[in-house]
Structure 1
Amino acid sequence: MASGVCNAINGIERLIDVKEEDSRVSFKCNVVLDAYCPFKSTSRKNECHSYAEMVSSSVLFLLKWLESSYDYEDYLKNDKFAEYAILWLSYKLNKYPQNKITTLNDFYTQHIEKNEYYNVKITKSSDKKTYKDIIYRKHDLMNIGIKDMPKFYEAFKSLCDMYTELDKE
């Protein structure tokens, strides 16, 4: 894992504004994330109307950011970026649980499978996979409960913090 991955995840965190008020969660997407939100015919633009839509948009933005910002020589082929994105996704879904989403497979079915933006071919992937393809290849992670995955994210985040500290020195 390179510090670039950690920087990308920290960057995504800065693009998301989530507030808890009583038992409600309100959010605001940065405009760069709106591009991957579903198109709403009523407003005639891409908008995220739910926390889950915003997180889905963020995962796609994270994957695209990692692809374009860091030269990992077809690293996406090895699915590492998908693993990092899935860890982050599970952390976000556990932090703010969503109705009827208890596993990553639930989220995949509702917010990734039919999302046109996940069907775009990855430009730096030699086998021309889509973003949906690389996430689906991690189906072994998909049935793990969302409440269990954050334990892995905490370890990942600790490694990121160490990388970030070492980069400062």
Structure 2
Amino acid sequence: LYLLDAFFKDSSVFSSVAKNNINIVEYIIMWLSYMLNLIKNEQGNSLEYFYDIYIKNHEKYTDSITSVDAYYNSYKDLIDKKNDLINMDIKYISKFYDAFNTLCMMYIEFNEKTLHCSNCLQNANKFVNKYKEMNQNSVITSNNSYAQLLSTLSNDYDNFKNYCNSKGVNCTNFPSLATIEEIQTLEKNSEQLSAHSSEQTVNSSLQDSEQIFTQSSKHIYTQGSEQISEQRSTQAPEVTSPSSSIGNKLFTVLSVFGAISFFLGISYKYSLSGFRKRAQKQYLREKIKNIKKRMNHSYMIRRE
């Protein structure tokens, strides 16, 4: 609820972004899934039970949002637009949040005064590895909702690289993300090469077999490279996220989101451990408030 308030309730800084970037709701659901995954859930492995108990009929979620009521009726309406995420397995959504958290750290640690952002590069490598791991998971890639989350993360990673380049920071050494189709093509070619390799071993005494294998391998490698090039050229116009049009605003959003979710995560862990100290909660509130003020100030400077 706090994250929804931060981006959608009476916020002059984020209202224009929230109107055009509903992916923020995806990130909020990722964060909630991650937090719920930290505790034992006897009601199932999805967010559905949480939605039914705390969101569906709760006035704080069903009341109209005054700042963006022309676009969304309520927080519940916002969440319902991403209803497919509610029924997904928490443990898988948590994997997405892990990658998203790394992406947030890239935005938070970015410094346009530094030509080479070493911390950003380290986080970029971590992000790409996490993304690759999910992209190779058939359970994830075969599910349309999971695939959409992968697309959202991929687009915002590319947006970060574009933002860096626009600020004169060298991001050419940042690793690129392979698409699902590229990975499947490479795996298929690898299997074909392996099959030919086995055939060559069995018929190693025959010189003709060795020549056939060499020619086939070259053909497969060339064909695979051409397929990947064609896929990249044909997919490029389609990989357009709503977030790609908001430029600098997205940078501010993810920076604030990362900072707020980080401190909320600390508060949540304290509550799970039973340490409900008022001083600690007040400290966290002040921290979040100061972060939002700094980010608001940064946003206004960029806007000018």
TM-score of the superposed pair, with normalisation by structure 1? 0.58
Alpha-carbon separation, structure 1, partners of 2:41 and 2:112 = 37
Aligned-partner Cα distance in 1 for 2:35–2:59: 22
How far apart are residue 167 of structure 1 and its match? 4.9
User: Among 133, 147, 150, which residue is 2:77 paired with?
Assistant: 133
**Residue 2 of structure 2 aligns with which residue?**
61
Indicate conservation of the 8 Å contact 2:37/2:94, yes or no.
Answer: yes
Match of 1:86, as an amino acid? I
Q: How does 1:102-141 map to 2 (within 5 A)?
A: 102-125=45-68, 126-141=70-85
User: Is the aligned partner of 1:89 residue 2:32?
Assistant: yes
Q: Distance in 2 between matches of 1:134 and 1:79?
A: 8
Deviation, 1:74, is 5.6
Q: Alignment partner of 2:92: what SS?
A: coil
Contact map agreement 1:76 1:134 (CA 8 A) in 2: no
Asked if 1 retains the 8 angstrom alpha-carbon contact of 2:64 and 2:73, the reply is yes
| Runs of 4+ off more than 6 Å | none
Distance of 1:165 and 1:62 partners within structure 2? 21
What amino acid does structure 2 have at the position aligned with 1:156?
A: F
Deviation of residue 81 (structure 1)?
A: 2.5
Max Rg structure = 2
In the alignment, does 2:109 pair up with 1:165? yes
What TM-score do the two structures reach when normalised by structure 2?
0.34
Residue pair 2:33, 2:94 contacting (<8 A) in 1 also:
yes
Q: Structure 1 residue 97: deviation in Å?
A: 2.7
For 2:5 and 2:92, how far apart are their aligned partners in 1? 26
Q: C-alpha separation between the residues in 2 aligned to 1:94 and 1:61?
A: 19
Alignment deviations for residues 136-162 of structure 1 (CA, whole Å, 9 cap, x no partner): 111111111111111100110000000
Letter in 1 for 2:83: H
Structure 1 letter corresponding to 2:49: D
Structure of higher RCO (CA pairs closer than 8 Å, 6+ residues apart):
1
Matched, 1:100 2:43: yes
- Higher fraction of strand: 1
User: How far apart, CA to CA, are the structure 1 residues paired with 2:44 and 2:93?
Assistant: 14
Secondary structure of the equivalent of 2:67? coil
Name the CA shift for 1:127/1:106 in 2 (closer, same or farther; >3 Å). Answer: same
Instruction: Please give the root-mean-square deviation of Cα atoms over the aligned residues, in Å.
Output: 2.1
Aligned ranges for residues 136-151 of structure 1 at < 5 Å? 136-151=80-95
Q: Aligned-pair distance for 1:109?
A: 1.0
Query: Structure 1 pair 162/77, CA: closer, same or farther in 2 (3 Å)?
Result: closer
Q: CA offset at residue 71 of structure 1?
A: 2.5
| Alignment match, 1:70 | 13
Query: What is the count of residue pairs matched by the alignment?
Result: 110
Structure 2 residue matching 1:149: 3-state secondary structure: helix
Distance 1:123 1:148 in 2: 34
Give CA deviations for 1:37-61 in whole Å, capped at 9, x if unaligned. Answer: xxxxxxxxxxxxxxxxxxxxxxx11
The alpha carbon displacement at 1:66 in A equals: 1.7
